[in-house]
Amino acid sequence: MRIGEAGAERPVLSAGGETFDLRPLTADIDGPFLASGGLERARAAHAAGELTPVETAGERIGPPVARPGAVLCIGQNYAAHAAESGAEPPGEPILFHKSPNTVVGAFDDILIPRGSRQTDWEVELGVVIGRTARYLDSPAQAREHVAGYVLANDVSERSFQLGRPGGQWSKGKSCETFNPLGPWLVPAADVADPQALRLASTVNGEVRQDSTTADMIFTVDEIVWHLSQYLVLEPGDLINTGTPEGVALSGRFPYLSAGDVVGTEITGLGAQRNLCRPA
Protein backbone atom coordinates (compact mmCIF):
# COMPACT_ATOMS: atom_id res chain seq x y z
CA MET A 1 0.00 0.00 0.00
CA ARG A 2 0.95 3.68 -0.23
CA ILE A 3 -0.21 5.99 2.55
CA GLY A 4 -0.24 9.78 2.70
CA GLU A 5 -1.25 12.91 0.86
CA ALA A 6 -1.15 12.98 -2.93
CA GLY A 7 2.42 13.37 -4.10
CA ALA A 8 3.85 12.48 -0.69
CA GLU A 9 2.78 8.86 -0.26
CA ARG A 10 5.04 6.45 1.60
CA PRO A 11 5.20 2.66 1.07
CA VAL A 12 3.80 0.27 3.66
CA LEU A 13 2.96 -3.41 3.91
CA SER A 14 -0.36 -4.58 5.32
CA ALA A 15 -0.42 -8.07 6.80
CA GLY A 16 -2.30 -9.81 9.60
CA GLY A 17 -4.22 -6.68 10.52
CA GLU A 18 -1.05 -4.62 11.01
CA THR A 19 0.73 -2.08 8.85
CA PHE A 20 4.51 -1.97 8.51
CA ASP A 21 6.92 0.67 7.21
CA LEU A 22 8.57 -0.35 3.92
CA ARG A 23 10.90 2.65 3.68
CA PRO A 24 13.92 0.61 4.88
CA LEU A 25 13.47 -1.42 1.65
CA THR A 26 12.31 1.19 -0.87
CA ALA A 27 11.40 4.83 -1.30
CA ASP A 28 8.24 3.86 -3.19
CA ILE A 29 6.24 1.02 -4.72
CA ASP A 30 7.21 1.58 -8.33
CA GLY A 31 8.68 -0.13 -11.39
CA PRO A 32 12.26 -0.44 -10.10
CA PHE A 33 11.03 -1.87 -6.78
CA LEU A 34 8.85 -4.46 -8.52
CA ALA A 35 11.52 -5.36 -11.10
CA SER A 36 14.14 -5.97 -8.42
CA GLY A 37 12.10 -8.57 -6.55
CA GLY A 38 10.74 -6.01 -4.11
CA LEU A 39 7.58 -7.92 -3.25
CA GLU A 40 9.59 -11.02 -2.37
CA ARG A 41 12.04 -8.96 -0.30
CA ALA A 42 9.16 -7.31 1.55
CA ARG A 43 7.61 -10.72 2.27
CA ALA A 44 10.92 -12.07 3.57
CA ALA A 45 11.56 -9.01 5.73
CA HIS A 46 8.10 -9.29 7.26
CA ALA A 47 8.52 -13.00 7.96
CA ALA A 48 11.86 -12.29 9.64
CA GLY A 49 10.32 -9.60 11.87
CA GLU A 50 12.52 -6.90 10.35
CA LEU A 51 9.75 -4.38 9.57
CA THR A 52 8.54 -1.77 12.05
CA PRO A 53 4.78 -1.47 12.69
CA VAL A 54 3.33 1.98 12.01
CA GLU A 55 0.01 3.66 12.79
CA THR A 56 -1.88 4.82 9.70
CA ALA A 57 -5.43 5.30 11.01
CA GLY A 58 -7.10 8.34 9.52
CA GLU A 59 -4.51 8.81 6.78
CA ARG A 60 -5.31 8.94 3.08
CA ILE A 61 -4.81 5.71 1.17
CA GLY A 62 -3.08 6.49 -2.10
CA PRO A 63 -2.91 4.33 -5.22
CA PRO A 64 -0.85 1.25 -4.31
CA VAL A 65 1.57 1.72 -7.22
CA ALA A 66 3.35 4.99 -8.00
CA ARG A 67 2.32 6.69 -11.23
CA PRO A 68 2.52 3.98 -13.92
CA GLY A 69 4.51 4.52 -17.08
CA ALA A 70 1.50 3.28 -19.02
CA VAL A 71 -2.16 2.55 -18.31
CA LEU A 72 -3.30 0.03 -20.92
CA CYS A 73 -6.97 -0.90 -21.12
CA ILE A 74 -8.89 -3.72 -22.76
CA GLY A 75 -12.30 -2.84 -24.19
CA GLN A 76 -15.40 -5.04 -24.40
CA ASN A 77 -13.77 -8.01 -22.67
CA TYR A 78 -16.98 -9.41 -21.19
CA ALA A 79 -19.50 -10.76 -23.70
CA ALA A 80 -22.53 -9.29 -21.91
CA HIS A 81 -20.89 -5.87 -21.70
CA ALA A 82 -20.04 -5.98 -25.41
CA ALA A 83 -23.69 -6.75 -26.09
CA GLU A 84 -25.00 -3.89 -23.94
CA SER A 85 -22.55 -1.60 -25.78
CA GLY A 86 -24.11 -2.68 -29.09
CA ALA A 87 -21.00 -4.56 -30.29
CA GLU A 88 -20.11 -8.11 -31.23
CA PRO A 89 -17.57 -9.83 -28.96
CA PRO A 90 -14.13 -8.91 -30.33
CA GLY A 91 -11.90 -11.43 -32.07
CA GLU A 92 -8.82 -10.16 -30.25
CA PRO A 93 -8.23 -7.80 -27.31
CA ILE A 94 -9.21 -4.18 -28.04
CA LEU A 95 -6.51 -1.85 -26.71
CA PHE A 96 -6.81 1.77 -25.67
CA HIS A 97 -4.72 3.98 -23.41
CA LYS A 98 -5.50 6.19 -20.43
CA SER A 99 -3.25 9.00 -19.30
CA PRO A 100 -1.21 7.78 -16.29
CA ASN A 101 -2.20 10.88 -14.32
CA THR A 102 -5.77 9.54 -14.13
CA VAL A 103 -4.63 7.19 -11.35
CA VAL A 104 -5.84 8.26 -7.88
CA GLY A 105 -6.50 6.60 -4.54
CA ALA A 106 -9.31 4.20 -3.74
CA PHE A 107 -11.25 6.79 -1.72
CA ASP A 108 -10.40 9.95 -3.64
CA ASP A 109 -13.16 11.97 -5.32
CA ILE A 110 -14.14 11.40 -8.94
CA LEU A 111 -14.30 14.76 -10.74
CA ILE A 112 -17.14 15.10 -13.24
CA PRO A 113 -15.52 16.86 -16.25
CA ARG A 114 -16.66 20.21 -17.54
CA GLY A 115 -19.35 19.69 -20.16
CA SER A 116 -19.89 16.07 -19.16
CA ARG A 117 -23.26 14.48 -19.81
CA GLN A 118 -22.33 10.80 -19.61
CA THR A 119 -19.75 9.98 -16.94
CA ASP A 120 -19.83 6.21 -16.34
CA TRP A 121 -18.33 3.66 -13.93
CA GLU A 122 -16.48 0.43 -14.83
CA VAL A 123 -15.21 -1.94 -12.13
CA GLU A 124 -12.19 -3.87 -13.45
CA LEU A 125 -9.45 -6.26 -12.46
CA GLY A 126 -6.14 -4.41 -12.76
CA VAL A 127 -2.90 -6.22 -13.53
CA VAL A 128 0.42 -4.66 -12.50
CA ILE A 129 3.47 -5.74 -14.51
CA GLY A 130 6.52 -6.86 -12.53
CA ARG A 131 8.97 -7.85 -15.26
CA THR A 132 9.58 -6.50 -18.75
CA ALA A 133 7.47 -8.46 -21.25
CA ARG A 134 8.23 -8.35 -24.97
CA TYR A 135 7.34 -10.96 -27.59
CA LEU A 136 6.29 -13.63 -25.11
CA ASP A 137 6.15 -17.04 -26.78
CA SER A 138 2.81 -18.07 -25.29
CA PRO A 139 0.18 -17.11 -22.73
CA ALA A 140 1.79 -19.65 -20.39
CA GLN A 141 4.72 -17.25 -19.96
CA ALA A 142 2.55 -14.33 -18.96
CA ARG A 143 2.03 -15.07 -15.26
CA GLU A 144 5.74 -14.80 -14.42
CA HIS A 145 5.67 -11.20 -15.65
CA VAL A 146 2.80 -10.14 -13.35
CA ALA A 147 3.68 -8.51 -10.03
CA GLY A 148 0.16 -8.53 -8.68
CA TYR A 149 -3.48 -7.59 -8.96
CA VAL A 150 -5.46 -4.53 -7.95
CA LEU A 151 -9.01 -3.17 -7.99
CA ALA A 152 -9.51 -0.51 -10.65
CA ASN A 153 -12.37 1.70 -11.82
CA ASP A 154 -12.03 2.65 -15.50
CA VAL A 155 -14.21 5.77 -15.25
CA SER A 156 -15.38 6.91 -18.70
CA GLU A 157 -17.13 9.89 -20.25
CA ARG A 158 -19.18 8.31 -23.03
CA SER A 159 -20.03 11.44 -25.01
CA PHE A 160 -16.32 12.30 -25.13
CA GLN A 161 -15.48 8.68 -25.98
CA LEU A 162 -18.13 7.89 -28.58
CA GLY A 163 -19.68 11.19 -29.60
CA ARG A 164 -16.61 12.91 -31.01
CA PRO A 165 -15.61 12.69 -34.70
CA GLY A 166 -13.89 9.41 -35.49
CA GLY A 167 -14.45 7.89 -32.05
CA GLN A 168 -12.15 9.24 -29.36
CA TRP A 169 -11.70 6.55 -26.73
CA SER A 170 -8.73 8.13 -24.98
CA LYS A 171 -10.50 11.51 -24.73
CA GLY A 172 -13.34 9.81 -22.90
CA LYS A 173 -11.03 7.86 -20.63
CA SER A 174 -8.27 10.31 -19.65
CA CYS A 175 -10.05 12.98 -17.62
CA GLU A 176 -8.48 13.66 -14.22
CA THR A 177 -9.35 11.17 -11.44
CA PHE A 178 -10.69 8.67 -13.98
CA ASN A 179 -8.79 5.67 -12.58
CA PRO A 180 -9.29 5.10 -8.84
CA LEU A 181 -6.88 2.29 -7.92
CA GLY A 182 -6.44 0.07 -4.89
CA PRO A 183 -6.58 0.16 -1.93
CA TRP A 184 -4.02 -2.67 -2.10
CA LEU A 185 -1.67 -4.31 -4.54
CA VAL A 186 -2.01 -8.04 -3.83
CA PRO A 187 1.05 -10.05 -4.95
CA ALA A 188 0.32 -12.52 -7.74
CA ALA A 189 1.45 -15.38 -5.48
CA ASP A 190 -1.48 -14.60 -3.16
CA VAL A 191 -4.15 -14.77 -5.89
CA ALA A 192 -4.78 -18.43 -6.68
CA ASP A 193 -6.78 -17.80 -9.83
CA PRO A 194 -7.32 -14.33 -11.33
CA GLN A 195 -10.14 -15.83 -13.42
CA ALA A 196 -12.19 -16.73 -10.34
CA LEU A 197 -12.78 -13.35 -8.71
CA ARG A 198 -16.13 -11.71 -8.05
CA LEU A 199 -16.33 -8.05 -9.03
CA ALA A 200 -19.18 -5.64 -8.36
CA SER A 201 -20.15 -1.98 -8.37
CA THR A 202 -22.82 0.18 -6.78
CA VAL A 203 -24.04 3.76 -7.17
CA ASN A 204 -25.55 5.32 -4.04
CA GLY A 205 -25.75 1.82 -2.58
CA GLU A 206 -27.72 0.35 -5.49
CA VAL A 207 -26.15 -2.60 -7.32
CA ARG A 208 -25.00 -1.89 -10.86
CA GLN A 209 -22.52 -4.66 -11.73
CA ASP A 210 -22.16 -8.14 -10.23
CA SER A 211 -20.10 -10.68 -12.15
CA THR A 212 -16.93 -12.75 -12.07
CA THR A 213 -13.66 -12.65 -13.99
CA ALA A 214 -14.52 -16.13 -15.26
CA ASP A 215 -16.69 -14.31 -17.81
CA MET A 216 -13.76 -12.48 -19.37
CA ILE A 217 -13.45 -13.20 -23.10
CA PHE A 218 -9.64 -12.96 -22.93
CA THR A 219 -7.91 -14.12 -19.76
CA VAL A 220 -5.15 -12.24 -17.96
CA ASP A 221 -2.57 -14.59 -19.49
CA GLU A 222 -3.93 -14.09 -22.99
CA ILE A 223 -4.01 -10.30 -22.59
CA VAL A 224 -0.43 -10.01 -21.33
CA TRP A 225 0.87 -12.33 -24.06
CA HIS A 226 -1.13 -10.54 -26.78
CA LEU A 227 -0.02 -7.05 -25.75
CA SER A 228 3.62 -8.16 -25.65
CA GLN A 229 3.42 -8.83 -29.40
CA TYR A 230 2.69 -5.14 -30.07
CA LEU A 231 4.39 -3.16 -27.32
CA VAL A 232 6.85 -3.60 -24.47
CA LEU A 233 5.25 -4.00 -21.06
CA GLU A 234 7.43 -2.52 -18.34
CA PRO A 235 7.50 -2.98 -14.55
CA GLY A 236 4.90 -0.79 -12.90
CA ASP A 237 2.64 -0.63 -15.96
CA LEU A 238 -1.07 -1.10 -15.26
CA ILE A 239 -3.45 -3.15 -17.42
CA ASN A 240 -7.20 -2.70 -16.88
CA THR A 241 -8.74 -5.92 -18.17
CA GLY A 242 -12.31 -4.86 -18.99
CA THR A 243 -15.63 -4.48 -17.23
CA PRO A 244 -18.77 -6.64 -16.99
CA GLU A 245 -22.30 -5.58 -17.87
CA GLY A 246 -24.19 -3.06 -15.78
CA VAL A 247 -22.80 0.31 -16.80
CA ALA A 248 -24.81 3.43 -17.61
CA LEU A 249 -24.00 3.03 -21.30
CA SER A 250 -26.47 0.15 -21.28
CA GLY A 251 -29.34 2.64 -20.98
CA ARG A 252 -30.61 0.90 -17.85
CA PHE A 253 -29.12 3.37 -15.37
CA PRO A 254 -28.54 7.12 -15.19
CA TYR A 255 -25.04 8.46 -15.67
CA LEU A 256 -23.10 9.88 -12.73
CA SER A 257 -23.63 13.38 -11.42
CA ALA A 258 -22.24 15.47 -8.57
CA GLY A 259 -23.15 14.00 -5.19
CA ASP A 260 -23.29 10.38 -6.37
CA VAL A 261 -21.17 7.83 -4.53
CA VAL A 262 -19.62 5.01 -6.54
CA GLY A 263 -18.64 1.78 -4.80
CA THR A 264 -16.53 -0.97 -6.37
CA GLU A 265 -15.08 -4.20 -5.02
CA ILE A 266 -13.27 -7.37 -6.05
CA THR A 267 -12.93 -10.47 -3.88
CA GLY A 268 -9.66 -10.27 -1.95
CA LEU A 269 -8.59 -7.00 -3.59
CA GLY A 270 -10.60 -4.67 -1.38
CA ALA A 271 -13.25 -2.02 -1.99
CA GLN A 272 -13.43 1.59 -3.13
CA ARG A 273 -15.78 4.44 -2.32
CA ASN A 274 -15.64 7.58 -4.44
CA LEU A 275 -17.72 10.73 -4.14
CA CYS A 276 -18.49 12.46 -7.45
CA ARG A 277 -18.12 16.23 -7.57
CA PRO A 278 -17.66 18.85 -10.29
CA ALA A 279 -14.17 19.31 -11.73
Single residue among 36, 60, 84 that ends a domain in this structure:
60
What average pLDDT does this structure show over 33-52? 97
Angle at 48 between CA 43 and CA 50, to 5 degrees: 90
**Same domain (yes/no): 28, 76:** no
Answer for the pair 233, 145: CB distance below 8 angstroms, yes or no: yes
**Same domain (yes/no): 128, 153:** yes
**Same domain (yes/no): 198, 220:** yes
Label the pairing between strands 270-278 and 110-112.
parallel
The domain total for the chain is: 2
Residue from 56, 48, 45, 49 nearest 17 by CA? 56
Beta strands of 130-236 (E only): which ranges? Answer: 146-153, 156-157, 179-180, 186-187, 198-203, 206-212
pLDDT for 5 equals 97
Single residue among 10, 38, 60 that ends a domain in this structure:
60
**Same domain (yes/no): 38, 76:** no
pLDDT for 86 equals 73
pLDDT for 143 equals 95
Most confidently predicted of 36-45, 74-83, 168-177: 36-45
